[in-house]
Copies of this chain bind each other. A is one copy, B any other.
Amino acid sequence: MSENENAAASRKGRPRSSTADDAILGATRALLAERGWATLTVGDVAVRAGVAKTTLYRRWASKNELVTAAVADMLGTLELPEDGDLRSDLDSVVRQFAQLLARPEMSSALMGLIADSTRDPELRRRVREAIVEPQKRLVVEGRARARARGEVGVADAIDVDLVFDVIAGTVVHHMLVSAEPAAEEWVGRFVAFVTAGLVGCAPGG
């Protein structure tokens, strides 16, 4: 029913070009990587995509929405390693986070979106939904696996939100504020720290 209605609604007139969508998001990513958030221009994106500004604004109402879409589109499905333990899961999550932030089109865009979102609740909702939450599921999944492995004490100690804030926040701060790469050795130290924190907080720890 609803399908028919939608179909009926969209059946009239010239359908939107799906290649335009891809071209726009691709151009956005390319320009984010080349020039960063601040100097990214909607007009430039349109030119780079070979598309009229109208076509772009018909799809995304603002630079913020456009960048959110482009970045979200870029996030592949992250995975936990098979047959891991608490520590290797942690290690994997930190590494994957760091890899995301290491992309030039990610770091600049992400901080820009967060900056704007401090004044725009709707944008904050979008950013969390499209970018932040998908990563948080790794922590949830990690806890479920720990529980399944019988590491009940530690698993119960995992406050998903807190652990996520610690992991994401620390990696971001390390890479963007302290401006240091997430080297092998640093990841090891950080994971050790988090592991100790989790174990220390466990009831039976």
Contact across chains for B196 and A38 when beta carbons are under 8 A apart: no
| Chief secondary structure at chain A's binding surface | helix
A118 touching B36, Cβ below 8 Å:
yes
Nearest B residue to A114 via CB reads B111
Encoded as 1 (CB less than 8 Å from any B CB) or 0, chain A from 74 to 112 comes to 000000000000000000000000000000100110011
Tell me the bound Cα distance from A130 to B45 in angstroms: 35
Instruction: Report which of B36, B169, B174, B194 forms a contact with A171, defined as CB distance below 8 A.
Output: B169
CA distance A193 to B200 in the complex (A): 7
- Copies per complex? 4
How many of A's residues come within 8 Å of B, CB to CB? 52
Q: List chain B residues, Cβ under 8 A from A200.
A: 193, 195-197, 199-200
Question: Is there a chain B Cβ closer than 8 Å to A192's Cβ?
Answer: yes
Instruction: Indicate whether A165 sits within 8 Å of B159 (C-beta atoms), given known contacts A115-B111, A118-B176.
Output: no
What is the distance, in angstroms, from A43's C-beta to the closest C-beta of chain B? 13
Min Cβ gap A138→B in Å is: 15
Asked if A181 is at the interface of the complex by the 8 Å CB criterion, the answer is: no
B-side contacts of A117, CB under 8 Å: 176
